Structure 1
Amino acid sequence: MASSPSVLVIDDEPDNFDVIEILLFREGYHLSFAGSGAEALERLSLHFPDIILLDVMMPELDGIQLCHQIKANSLWCHIPIIMVTALTAKEDLALCLDAGADDFISKPVNGIELRARVRSMLRIKQQYDELQALLQVRDDLSNMIIHDLNNPLAGILFSCELLRRSELQPKQRQKIEDIFRLSQRMVSLVDSLLIIAKVQADQLVLNYDPVDMYEMGQAIATDFEPVAVHSQMKLVCELPEPGKQIEVDSVILRRVMENLLSNAIKFSPPGGQIILRISYPPEKAVKIQVIDSGSGISEELQQRIFEKYDVGTFHKGIAQTGLGLAFCKIAIEAHGGTISVDNNYPQGSIFTVTI
């Protein structure tokens, strides 16, 4: 927060602003005035105040409606709002709070009460600003570490490639293959984190190219068939006819499908069946479904399983980072599509991607 906190007073009566200015004169705040809801929205688009004093009874866009709009905007919702109202009924005060107001003060405004409430809201705003600064430092540090992991991982993969070409004992070769596979998984995780960071910074650019989903599905199935066999599962592919192409970022979409298949195999029991289903519905460019035979996902978890670092239900012995599905959601939404999960009765889950 700036050394001189800024207060935006929104009131259709200039005389009321004069009263507020006199009552807060000795506090050293920078006060600005908006005479209507429309003018307030225009001011907010240019400058973020530290706190808003908002009159309830205004023509056209009243204080309740304006408060709803401010709190619905992701750029403004953190700004504390004190409603200034002549209304005293509990129902009216409840309306103010339900609209998103953080506090209220009744007219005629008492100077001692006003100064105390403004200081209280400014303390909350300062705590918010400090928390946001710490989160930014955390994100910057995380992104730097993630970016720097690429070089050592590339070195490990290169060394594994050289060792794979050497004469090795079966046990040695198996260990090298394990190192190679786990290193590739780490590279995939790092790439997912970098893509998430780019999306959050509005820097993700999709590289669209024509893709035959039959060919992509076949290639992915070929890669995952040995993994499914090793896990004692059956991988079934239901693919469209070859020849049709759609415009997508093939690298990112393939990684989405790989993430979903990897999860399906990871969370399904031995002897289970995994289905990769791809189709071209009339209303969408493509529909992709990955159907597993795991334990399923509760309705509560279905609402938040695509959030970053949410691992859903913990499964002993299974690595869970909470990043795979978050990446899938970000990647698909960047394509203008949707991703959802439903239960596959009697057992399992159905992840559906539409673009």
Structure 2
Amino acid sequence: MNSQPSILVIDDEPDNFDVVETLLDGENYQLYYASSGQQALNRLESFQPDLILLDVMMPDLNGMEVCQLIKTDPQWQAVPIIMVTALTDKEDLARCLATGADDFISKPVNGVELRARVHSMLRIKQQYDDMQVLLKLREDMVNMIVHDLRNPLASIILGAEILRFPGLSPKHQQGKIDQILIAGQQLQSLIDSLLIMAKLESGKMVLNYTEVDLCALCISAVADIEAMAAQKNLTLISELPQPGGIVAVDAVIFRRVLDNLLSNAIKFSPSKSQVTLRGEYLPAGGAKVQVADSGSGVPEDLRQIIFQKYEIGTLMPEVSQIGLGLAFCKIAIEAHGGTITIRDNHPYGSIFTVLLKNP
């Protein structure tokens, strides 16, 4: 719903609209007027209000008929309708509700009651709108998860099918085995990340802090990503502190952050470029880790939303974009009490910086 909710008043008496406008003055509503049921139906073809105030007693199409027509159309069903009526008989009021009205208010209209009922209906409409956004996001998330699970799975199946061919040279066999292994690791990483994110967000995961050697952890992460880098003919550069230094982290989760940042950098870097992993201990305690790539970079206006689940920066058709890795990194690092940021890597690419404090 907009910051200024819209209300369509349907009444054959313009004076009644003036009354409603006066009673709702100062409520930050945008009011619209239709002098007949047919005019209102015509207006709804091009604009959907957040709420309708509908007079019952009108010539031609009366309010109950208009309400029924609106509520039988799927595109308008969610718009709340408050019937404004001079009828007092219980059966008449029941008929108003039976036609699909969400509420009613009696004439003469009382200002306090009108504002309360309008506010109530708009609150319900807002809840409905929020739910639709959530359902759409969930649908998009499911579609993206299925898409990104299928990519490595298809690679595994294709590699396995080729291995069944007779007479395949040892070199080609090894290449297909490497392809299957990389795809399997990608598949496992995505599934594990989904499970860990769900636990972190629900507060059901307690970080298992241990003291680890930052240099050794980074070297291990680089070693596991070398095959993926080799496929794109990329150079991996490590600028790390001397072995023996200690940083307190959940080693499993922090290692997954490194894996996501490195694989993301490799994915978006052009062939024959380089990806750099830097690490250092901070004088005040904690550590800083940076992953620099040579890709197309991230525009300023996208640097926050790329850390949101299933958001991507620049769409690149040739690149599988999970839209999950950076969100995982943000949730995991913030669970450690740290921060993750992005800036330009001149002349091309991006630098992701992770700052960790002592727990």
Distance 1:115 1:338, change over 3 A: closer
Cα deviation digits, residues 63-85 of structure 1 (max 9, x gap): xxxxxxxxxxxxxxxxxxxxxxx
Distance 1:306 1:122, change over 3 A: closer
Residue 175 (1) aligns with residue 191 (2)? no
Checking the alignment, whether the CA contact within 8 Å between 2:342 and 2:350 is kept in structure 1 is yes
Structure with bigger gyration radius: 2
Distance 1:168 1:202, change over 3 A: farther
Quote the residue 1:271 is aligned against.
Answer: 272
Quote the residue 1:82 is aligned against.
Answer: none
Q: How far apart in 2 are the matches of 1:172 and 1:242?
A: 37
Quote the residue 1:314 is aligned against.
Answer: 315
Quote the residue 1:65 is aligned against.
Answer: none
Stretches of structure 2 lacking an aligned partner (at least 5 in a row): 1-109
Q: How far apart in 2 are the matches of 1:140 and 1:262?
A: 21
Q: How far apart in 2 are the matches of 1:125 and 1:348?
A: 41
Quote the residue 1:290 is aligned against.
Answer: 291
Cα deviation digits, residues 196-245 of structure 1 (max 9, x gap): 11122111221111100111122222223343333222211111111121
Q: How far apart in 1 are the matches of 2:343 and 2:354?
A: 12
How many residue pairs get aligned? The number is 235
Name the aligned partner's letter for residue 292 of structure 2.
I
Quote the residue 1:198 is aligned against.
Answer: 199
Quote the residue 1:67 is aligned against.
Answer: none
CA shift for structure 1 position 326: 0.4
Quote the residue 1:207 is aligned against.
Answer: 208
State the identity %: 44
Q: How far apart in 2 are the matches of 1:137 and 1:310?
A: 13
Name the aligned partner's letter for residue 178 of structure 2.
E
Quote the residue 1:87 is aligned against.
Answer: none
Distance 1:132 1:215, change over 3 A: same
Q: How far apart in 2 are the matches of 1:216 and 1:309?
A: 28
Superposed CA RMSD:
3.6
CA shift for structure 1 position 110: 1.6
Distance 1:324 1:126, change over 3 A: closer
Residue 123 (1) aligns with residue 124 (2)? yes
- Give the match's secondary structure for 1:353: strand
Distance 1:138 1:203, change over 3 A: farther
Alignment TM-score, normalising by the size of structure 1 = 0.58
Alignment TM-score, normalising by the size of structure 2 = 0.57
For residues 1-355 of structure 1, what are the structure 2 equivalents within 5 Å? 110-127=111-128, 131=132, 169-355=170-356
Cα deviation digits, residues 60-113 of structure 1 (max 9, x gap): xxxxxxxxxxxxxxxxxxxxxxxxxxxxxxxxxxxxxxxxxxxxxxxxx72452
Cα deviation digits, residues 317-352 of structure 1 (max 9, x gap): 110010000000011001000000000111111100
CA shift for structure 1 position 114: 2.7
Checking the alignment, whether the CA contact within 8 Å between 2:141 and 2:310 is kept in structure 1 is no
Checking the alignment, whether the CA contact within 8 Å between 1:284 and 1:354 is kept in structure 2 is no
Checking the alignment, whether the CA contact within 8 Å between 2:275 and 2:291 is kept in structure 1 is yes
